[in-house]
């Protein structure tokens, strides 16, 4: 107990003199503010991307893909599709038909309105029951595509971001003209998606298989029943996943890149802030040689001195963490981003702010370690003689 009293007594003494060492203290605060602000802002890119990916995820939807592939890259045959329609656990519509949508995904080109930059995004050929599968989808203009015709429906995000997606616009896809006949919104999703009739798209692209299948379960609890039926059927070379897991798997490469870039840039900034904290704390320790020596002479232990300096460093880093997180939220939360052609909004969340605080405390701990050891090892007699 005496040891802890020493630590907190030393910490009070250290912090009481901050106003006399304002320049050094501000160097630490500003450095940590910049490092945390950059880290949280960069991580907000990945957080926003994941929120966009999971914007309309439902626990009662499941995705079927060819074994070993991700959503949109499989090869489900017509024979497998017929078997899927008879699997247990699938919800039926008013006519008693299973709510299953087969997709055929192919990339198409778009050009941004502002920059004329060329971006690729998916054309999703779908079978019937798309609106039953995704009740959040509703048309804001025009109508749905008709089976057998070269017609497209585009999300409003496509119309806002790219040229060539107004009602009546024609797009050349694999040698054929396709007409935009409708615009839609889909819940909170704000990414560009274009739908067409699956059979027509497959015919135009000379394909005979579907990329994946998405179905609506009777309830989330029926997932295990469906999974057992799929894995136990030798005629199906398919994997089944919850919709959330399937999306996470499909976007794993993009999310990994975003996280790597965020932590790489954040680490570079943190190293700079930590070095700045080391220099500032060295200056603080040198300016307090007599004070520290006096405390040592009257009985304060070297360990208490070390911990007090470390705590001082972490306490000085804390305002920088709070300020950096606040600035990241004010400047970047909700900001539109579109790396690699994938559009979403940055999201500065509470968990990112907590991570920023933890990051700052670590910087304070590392930055204060060497100065703290210097203070503890300072010879008492030499320090008392210092001018």
Considering the domain architecture, whether residues 204 and 272 belong to the same structural domain is answered as no
Q: Is residue 58 part of a domain?
A: no
Residue 221's pLDDT is: 93
Considering the domain architecture, whether residues 280 and 203 belong to the same structural domain is answered as no
Q: Is residue 209 part of a domain?
A: yes
Pair type for strands 176-186 and 137-142: antiparallel
H helices present in the chain, as ranges: 2-16, 22-53, 78-84, 130-133, 156-161, 198-204, 223-231, 243-250, 252-287, 289-297, 302-332, 350-377, 380-385
Considering the domain architecture, whether residues 188 and 263 belong to the same structural domain is answered as no
The CA-based angle 12-15-19, given to 5 degrees, is 140
Pair type for strands 176-186 and 61-66: unpaired
Considering the domain architecture, whether residues 222 and 84 belong to the same structural domain is answered as yes
Residue 242's pLDDT is: 93
Residue 387's pLDDT is: 46
The CA-based angle 158-150-105, given to 5 degrees, is 60
Residue 181's pLDDT is: 95
Residue 275's pLDDT is: 77
Length of the chain: 387
Residue 206 belongs to domain spanning: 68-236
Considering the domain architecture, whether residues 365 and 216 belong to the same structural domain is answered as no
Q: Is residue 329 part of a domain?
A: yes
Q: Is residue 118 part of a domain?
A: yes
Q: Is residue 62 part of a domain?
A: no
Considering the domain architecture, whether residues 45 and 93 belong to the same structural domain is answered as no
The domain total for the chain is: 2
User: Which pTM was predicted?
Assistant: 0.73
Residue 109's pLDDT is: 78
Pair type for strands 118-126 and 137-142: unpaired
Considering the domain architecture, whether residues 214 and 143 belong to the same structural domain is answered as yes
Beta-bridged to residue 337, according to DSSP, are: 344
Residue 220's pLDDT is: 93
- Residue-by-residue pLDDT tens, the chain, 387 positions: 566 676 666 667 666 666 666 777 787 888 888 888 888 888 888 888 888 777 788 899 999 999 888 887 888 999 999 999 999 999 999 889 999 999 988 877 778 877 777 777 778 889 888 889 988 888 999 999 999 899 999 988 888 888 888 999 998 887 788 999 999 988 777 778 899 999 998 888 788 899 999 999 999 999 999 999 999 998 899 999 999 998 888 888 878 888 888 888 878 877 877 777 777 766 766 666 666 666 666 666 777 777 777 787 788 888 888 998 999 999 888 887 766 556 778 889 999 899 888 888 888 887 777 777 776 676 655 545 554
Considering the domain architecture, whether residues 289 and 195 belong to the same structural domain is answered as no
The CA-based angle 152-160-122, given to 5 degrees, is 45
């Amino acid at each position: 107990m005496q040891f802890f009293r020493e630590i907190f007594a030393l910490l009070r003494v250290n912090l009481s003199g901050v106003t006399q060492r304002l320049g050094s203290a501000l160097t630490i605060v500003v450095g940590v503010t910049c490092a945390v602000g950059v880290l949280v802002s960069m991580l907000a890119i990945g957080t926003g991307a994941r929120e966009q990916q999971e914007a309309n995820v439902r626990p009662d939807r499941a995705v079927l893909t060819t074994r070993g592939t991700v959503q949109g890259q499989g090869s489900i045959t017509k024979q497998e599709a017929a078997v899927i329609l008879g699997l247990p656990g699938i919800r039926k519509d008013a006519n008693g038909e299973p709510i299953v949508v087969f997709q055929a995904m192919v990339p198409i080109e778009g050009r941004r309105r502002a920059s004329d930059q060329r971006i690729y995004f998916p054309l999703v050929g779908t079978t019937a029951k798309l609106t039953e599968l995704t009740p959040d989808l509703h048309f804001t203009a025009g109508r749905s595509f008709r089976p057998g015709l070269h017609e497209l429906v585009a999300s409003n995000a496509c119309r806002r971001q790219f040229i060539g997606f107004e009602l009546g616009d024609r797009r050349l896809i694999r040698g054929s003209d396709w007409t935009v006949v409708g615009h839609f919104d889909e819940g909170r999703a704000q990414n560009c998606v274009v739908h067409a009739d699956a059979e027509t798209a497959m015919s135009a692209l000379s394909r005979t298989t579907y990329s994946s299948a998405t179905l609506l379960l009777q309830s989330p609890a029926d997932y295990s029943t469906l999974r057992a039926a799929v894995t136990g059927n030798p005629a199906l070379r398919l994997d089944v996943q919850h919709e959330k897991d399937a999306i996470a798997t499909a976007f794993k490469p993009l999310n990994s890149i975003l996280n790597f870039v965020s932590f790489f840039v954040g680490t570079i900034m943190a190293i700079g802030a930590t070095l700045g904290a080391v220099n500032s704390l060295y200056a603080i320790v040198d300016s307090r040689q007599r004070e520290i020596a006096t405390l040592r002479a009257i009985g304060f232990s070297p360990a208490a001195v070390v911990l007090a300096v470390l705590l001082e460093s972490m306490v000085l880093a804390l305002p920088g963490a709070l300020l950096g997180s606040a600035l990241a939220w004010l400047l970047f939360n909700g900001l539109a981003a579109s790396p690699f052609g994938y559009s979403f909004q940055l999201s500065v969340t509470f968990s990112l702010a907590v991570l920023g605080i933890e990051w700052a405390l670590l910087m304070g701990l590392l930055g204060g370690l060497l100065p703290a050891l210097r203070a503890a090892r300072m010879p008492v007699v030499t320090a008392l003689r210092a001018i």
